[in-house]
Chains A and B, each alone.
Chain A
Amino acid sequence: MAIDLISYSLVPLFAALIIPFIPRKHRRITEIIANITLLSGIINLGYVIIYYLVLNDYTSYTSDAFTTLMLFTIYLVGMAITFFSTYYEVEKDTNFSSYYSLILVSVSAMCSLVMSRDFFTLYIFMEALSVCSFALITSDSKTFSIEAAIKYFFLTFPASVLIIFGISLLMINYGTFDFDTIKFTSMNFLTFVSLSFIILGFLIKAGIVPFHFWTPDVYEGSYSPVSAYMAGIVTKVGGIYAIIKIVMLLSSYGFGSNLSKLLLFTGFLSVFVGAIAATVQKNMKRMLAYSSISQMGYIILAAATFSPIGIIAAVFHLINHATFKTVLFLNSACVEKSTGTTNMDELKGLEHRMPWTSWTSIIALFSTAGLPPLSGFWSKLLIILALWQSGHIFYAVAALIASVFTLAYFTIMQKKVFFGKLPEKFNDIKEAKYQLLIPVVVISLIIIFTGVFFNRVFPYFERILS
């Protein structure tokens, strides 16, 4: 484990353990503790990252740029969700007894996950993360959320089985789990099989086609800020991060053309299935779930090229997608709070009453579709470049065509929900409270700035590979 960053995972853990000792009626203190913990983490990390970007001198702090970046993303999304949930209450019987503790524990688990340097630690923290997410999904007491949690459990536990099976096969071969040991020794059939099992397990956890059956129900059914949390960071850190790490190991050896083909095909399927299925959805959250599947497919496509530029593209798209989906899901939560429904057939013309929500949603969806000069354009460009340079022309063209689909369904959503004439029954809805909008606006600004100042951000990503 990377020792120097360990405080980032210990502090939320301590905060989570303190929270139950606060009596139930002082809920405000609970919220303050949760928010302050994450806020301090993110200010610290923000300083570190800007220090890297501006002064270009990173060797004095820590030698791993990727971990720091992932930590920053985790804290960013966690902070956004915590701040959002503090002001979000929709029904009176949402269960807050351990909500903040669970979020803090899951943030801690995710931080330890990205800091782990061997497979077994990765597995442990991934399990901790899954356990926390089961409970978080059920935070509002509707039956649909309980069903979603049960589905999540049943459909991802084969993933855990596969992962531990792969890890044990790896143990037979090497006697140890470390990333470093595996990186530099020779590749044989057993290692290949075990790594494939592990990748398969993580693919299921990430919600890639054809293992995606849990994703729409879970995102649609869970409590709204938790959907944003799951889509924004849990499926990423719990799923795609490990795949990228394994690809980095394999690519440093220059290996794997058939595995590459399989992953490319899976990514391609995800991109298209997600995009096509998203066009006919009636519920906003379900559509966003399919869109997440599609974007995860892009990340897998990039990572599957096993080339340096592909890995950079995958990491960048991972972080970008965390920001886009957080904004979109939080916006849908605002809409749900103001109007009481997320059914796109009933919603119309909300732009007149909720301009901020509408405009940040436009920024996020333009970025997802890949319009310059937002950050999504750069990451899509890198993905298509990586595919083209490694010779997979068909996939590059397919990724481009799928961008059109992405733009299509998002524009449909935007038009249906936000533009148009306001119907009578929505005449006195108000804009979401400003506190609910703050995280959304901050993340939108990050999207814009990362896109516009991309030439400063890019060298940082190149350092990830070293």
Chain B
Amino acid sequence: MNTNTNISNLILIPILIPFISAFLILLISEKTKYLKEVLSIAVALLCFIASITLLRLVGENPIIYQIPWLGYREMMAFRVDHLSAFLLFAVSMFSTLISIYAISVKNKGYSKIFYFLLLLTQSAAAGSVLSDNLIAMLFFWESMVVFLYVYIYISGEGYAVRKAALKTFLINGISDIAMMIGIVIVGYISDTYLMSSISSNKLILSGWGTIAYIMLLIGALTKAGAFPFHTWIPDAALNSNAAFMAYIPAAIDKLLGIYFLARISIYLYSLNTTMQVILMAIGAITILVAVMMALVQSDYKRLLSYHAVSQTGYMILGIGTLNPIGIAGGLFHMINHASYKSCLFMTSGAVERETGTNDISKLGGLFSRMPVTAICFIVAAASISGIAPFNGFFSKELVYKGTLASGWTLFFYAAELGSILTLASFLKLGHSVFFGSCPENLKDTKEAPYSMIIPMILLAAICIVFGFGADIPVSKFIEPSLSSLGVVVGNIELAGFHTDSLFIIFLVVVIIAVTNHIIGFRLSGKAYKSSDHIHHAPVLKETYAMADKGYFDIYEISRYIFAYFAGIMFKVDRFFDKLIDDIPSAITRWASEQLSRLQSASYRVSMFFIFLFIAIYLLYLGGIKWQ
């Protein structure tokens, strides 16, 4: 039973072609200068064009492609509805941009392995968003964990890099296990693994359903990077290169995480208000905690990564409101965040490449030296802070409206506070990196190369376009996605510039933040210390000290607990190791050497043995008497 049409073969392109090209790249030796980059850019462009075609072709009925695999009819079922097409478009777009960007990043390890991983991640991400069958999606999702680990591992030498890579792998791996348990339970309850079949008869939160939902939630939240599973992102940021950070934690992981969150919360389940509150609470806590941590960072990339975590909170808050405006806000924020966060990481990469450092206390006054980078930074920073008329403003507005409509104004205040602190943090960052006085050793930094500038400009342009013309993405992407999720939109107008009470609150936010920054600057005298007054405030000082030591990090807490058990298990393991490993290999080695000695060089001895064994064989047969 095959419902594949010619159009649906397009689905295979974004998955198979990067996969095959990845292996091709591995075979090309390191000596060719630009072949890898060109190949990966070409492949990414091809997938991008394929995704645009898919986007235009998805009409009323989603495109389905099913491959029976190993006897199961629907194992590899791919289904492109508006939401999936939209996400595929986003994934391909970011892949293309990062492929261009990565040409000039220096410390990306063996470059052929970098591109290999890039293409494989692209293929896996495409597979995740396109697949309808939960198990196929899990397969693609989990393969990305390995690539994540290797990416971080190859970024540099040293103990810190390996620790960061291990932490990433463990947190993501354990959450994937949780997700796997969730998917198995879902499949068990609803007797099918196809998301489209499950959505026609939505699950409810009771008994096994709750457990499954929580497991799936853990998976989605870890991928997106929400509290309390976010701690791998800042550590990775410290140690790995900017191209990787711009690609995976900023763009791909968020896209996939929020996509899956949307699917499970709206498509597969119909949630009740308790879960709604929990989701919104997680969102709000994430916003606040992350932005508080971000305020006090002194490393460019680490600061940006905390902000990434914080923005994820907005998305979760939006989706958690469970009404159309909020969900639209969450999805819109997802793509907006991906574009401006990517742009910000790209600027950090450019700055790192040109100046050689990530420490903002050592940077300053780069505006005149790297003008294009600086302007892109300003646009992206304005977007992330939610300043009109950039895209961040519109998506945040939708999220606020949704939160208010759901009736829990506490979260609204939390989100607004987050906005204030975000803006303050970026004022600090921008001021200390791009404005102010320039240190001696940085007097002649040059602008970043074209391969870095072009993607930055493109992303900044997207920020502007999605802001000024917020109609376009909303009507083209978000509304159809909502309809494919089954959310009834009704007559609500989702875009547009409203001068209502929210706008006034926005102005208040901006004023508070700017004032805060000026106070900080005056108090400390240096731009990068302008958030010190918050850092050293009475209660917060101890809290920050504890956070630095990792008291709040779930990973670290678990590590302490496990370290205790590990000591015991180590002793047990040594014993078994001796039993299983040392003794058999010693015996094997001894046996092997004996056997090799039996093989003598003289043919006479060998012939003797052969005759001996012939005689034994015949005697054995003679004793059998043919039965």
From residue 563 to 613 of chain B, which have CB atoms closer than 8 A to chain A?
588-589, 591-593, 595-596, 599, 601, 603, 606-607, 609-611, 613
Whether A213 and B606, one on each chain, are in contact in the complex, defined by CB atoms closer than 8 angstroms, is yes
Tell whether, in the assembled complex, residue B626 and residue A189 are in contact, meaning their CB atoms are under 8 Å apart.
yes
- CB neighbours (8 Å) of B617 from chain A are 196, 200, 262
B624 at the interface (CB under 8 A from A): yes
Is B614 interfacial (CB-CB < 8 Å)? yes
> Is B606 within 8 A of A155, CB to CB?
yes
Task: Report whether A273 and B607 are in contact in the complex, using a CB–CB cutoff of 8 Å.
Answer: no
Residue from A155, A162, A192, A273 within 8 A of B595 (CB atoms):
A273
Given known A211-B613, A262-B620, A276-B592, contact A154–B607 (CB-CB < 8 A): yes
Contact A280 B611 (CB under 8 A): no
B613 pairs with A210, CB closer than 8 A: yes
> Counting CB contacts under 8 A, is B625 at the interface?
yes
Asked if residues B592 and A277 are in contact (CB atoms below 8 Å), the reply is yes
Q: Which residues of B contact A397 (CB under 8 A)?
A: none
A273–B625 Cα distance when bound, in Å, is: 29
A25 CA / B513 CA spacing, docked (Å):
91
A356 at interface by CB-CB < 8 Å? yes
Residue-wise interface mask of A (364-378) relative to B, using a CB-CB cutoff of 8 A (1 in contact, 0 not): 000000000000000
> Is B29 on the interface with A (CB-CB < 8 A)?
yes
Residues on B with beta carbons closer than 8 Å to the beta carbon of A258? 621, 624, 627
Interface size class of chain A, counting residues whose CB lies under 8 Å from the partner chain: 35 or more
A442 within 8 A of B: no
B1, CB-defined interface residue at 8 Å: no
When distances are taken between beta carbons in the complex, the residues of chain B under 8 Å from A356 are 27
- Contacts A155-B603, A276-B592, A279-B592: A213 and B614 contacting too (C-beta < 8 A)? no
B621 close to A214 (CB less than 8 A): no
Whether A196 contacts B593 in the complex (CB less than 8 A), given A151-B606, A155-B607, comes out as no
A78 within 8 A of B: no
Q: B592 near A162 (CB under 8 angstroms)?
A: no
Pick the residue among B592, B609, B625 that contacts A213 (CB under 8 A): B609
By a CB distance below 8 angstroms, the chain B residues around A196 are 617-618, 621
Q: Is the CB of A210 within 8 A of B609?
A: yes
Instruction: Find chain B residues with CB under 8 A from A466 CB.
Output: none
Chain B residues lying within 8 Å of A155, measured Cβ to Cβ, are: 603, 606-607, 610
**Residues of B contacting A213 in the complex (Cβ-Cβ under 8 angstroms):** 599, 606, 609-610
Nearest-Cβ distance from residue A344 to partner chain B, whole angstroms:
14
**Contact A200 B626, beta carbon cutoff 8 Å:** no
Secondary structure dominating the interface of B:
helix
State A191–B387 Cα separation when bound (angstroms): 97
**Residues of B close to A158: CB separation below 8 A:** 607, 610-611, 614
Which of B27, B591, B603, B621 touches A359 (beta carbons < 8 Å)? B27
Min C-beta distance of B585 to chain A, whole Å: 9
A61 to B617, CA, bound (A): 42
Residues of B within 8 A of A150 (CB): 603
* Contact A189–B589 (Cβ < 8 Å): no
Q: Does A59 lie at the interface of the complex (its beta carbon under 8 Å from any beta carbon of B)?
A: no
Alpha-carbon distance A158/B611, docked complex (angstroms):
8
Bound-state CA distance A214–B599 (Å) is 9
Among residues 122 to 168 in chain A, which have CB atoms less than 8 Å away from a CB atom of chain B? 150-151, 154-155, 158, 162
The 9 closest A-B pairs by CB, nearest first: A213-B606, A280-B592, A192-B626, A189-B626, A258-B624, A277-B595, A210-B613, A276-B592, A151-B603
Chain A: residues with CB nearer than 8 A to chain B?
A: 150-151, 154-155, 158, 162, 187-189, 192-193, 196, 200, 204, 210-211, 213-214, 216-217, 257-259, 262, 273, 276-281, 352, 355-356, 359, 405
What are 9 of the A-B contact pairs (CB < 8 Å)? A151-B606, A154-B607, A188-B626, A189-B625, A210-B613, A216-B599, A217-B599, A258-B627, A278-B592
Other than the known A210-B610, A211-B614, A259-B624, what 13 A-B pairs have Cβ atoms closer than 8 Å?
A155-B606, A200-B618, A210-B609, A210-B613, A213-B609, A217-B599, A257-B627, A258-B624, A276-B592, A277-B592, A277-B599, A279-B589, A280-B589
Interface residues in chain B, defined as those with a beta carbon under 8 Å from any beta carbon in chain A: 27, 29, 588-589, 591-593, 595-596, 599, 601, 603, 606-607, 609-611, 613-614, 617-618, 620-621, 624-627
